[in-house]
Structure 1
Amino acid sequence: MHFSLLKHGEVPMDLNLKKRVLAIIYHDKTSASELPEVSILLGGIFTNAAIKFCEEHSVDIKTTDVIGSHGQTI
């Protein structure tokens, strides 16, 4: 199997969401409603970032097999 990096980039995270994620991590405390809410918000951000990246780099997302995300870097 052969892999090669074709394009790369980054999209900054919304500051308010970043603060929420960091609060969950540092305080090791969340609620049953907050965790899935933050997870859904992060999923939306990753999706929008992938779409934006493909548009900015002229990549046809329909022909893309894999998009790697190192999304946990904050």
Structure 2
Amino acid sequence: MKPKGEDAEKAKRNAALEAVKHVNNGFVIGLGSGSTVAYAAEEMGKRIKAEKLCVKAVPTSYQAFMLAVENGIPITTLEEN
């Protein structure tokens, strides 16, 4: 039997992957804080590279900013959009 922590992490990853599936070319997305955002940023970076998506992110924290940079997600601000 899996520990509850593993189930929670799997659920977070699945939620993040499902959310990223709904991002389309030209979207400006909010990149929040928390443990789930790491999974989403990683997957979004993969999609941007593989599909040549034009997507920008508005990070809500320094952590989110760094995740975007590390995963090749272009940054923008609320004022710019």
Q: TM-score, normalised by structure 2?
A: 0.31
Q: Which has the larger radius of gyration?
A: 1
Larger RCO, structure (CA 8 Å, separation 6 or more): 1
Greater strand percent: which structure?
Answer: 2
Q: TM-score, normalised by structure 1?
A: 0.33
